[in-house]
Chain A
């Protein structure tokens, strides 16, 4: 069974600092990995999707890397802003097309 772990569970940084969020998974046989953002009491917003054959994806200030062989992904958020405060979830898709989620990293960016 796929297990997804996100470290740290919570992170607080001053505005302008870069954020580094880590995700690890136990079964490297994945189809893709996604990073989501979740605001309190809300649904999920997809940020980046990395196919298993890719090493990274970028969107604006966000960059996500994938090392499938070691079962790791890292989400980088450059020049953080208070609006980046949210919970970030990592999820991997297996050969059964189901998503396995990590517990998330709750980010607070202080103004």
Chain B
């Protein structure tokens, strides 16, 4: 149980285009989803926290107009990288939590999406 999927697993796009990444909780309802990015040989950095039906909360330094997050249902959250540039190339990972997020509840992680912007 507690499986999280991401689609696509990898994507290559041209500079200036937008890319949408989906994160789905397959067998549970996720009230909270988290989006992380990971640069090579570095740790995961939290970008934003999204709760179903409300606006995402972005971490300091993350541009909310560039990284659009939508959490329209209890099983789906999307991250759209708008007007992507080469510096946005990274590994994006989502996680989902069933109740409240973190705390004593486990975050279940997706397999990640490798974004390469040419």
Contact = CB atoms under 8 A, between A and B. Distances in A.
Interface residues of B, number: 27
Contacts of B104: 31-32, 51
Contacts of A44: 44, 93, 95, 109
Contact of A32 (B91, B97, B103, B114): B103
Interface residues of A, number: 26
B110 to A, nearest CB: 6
Contacts of B107: 99
Contacts of B91: 41
* Chain A interface, DSSP helix/strand/loop, else mixed: strand
18 contacts: A32-B102, A36-B109, A43-B109, A44-B95, A44-B109, A46-B109, A51-B104, A89-B44, A91-B44, A97-B100, A98-B34, A98-B46, A98-B102, A99-B102, A100-B46, A101-B43, A101-B44, A103-B41
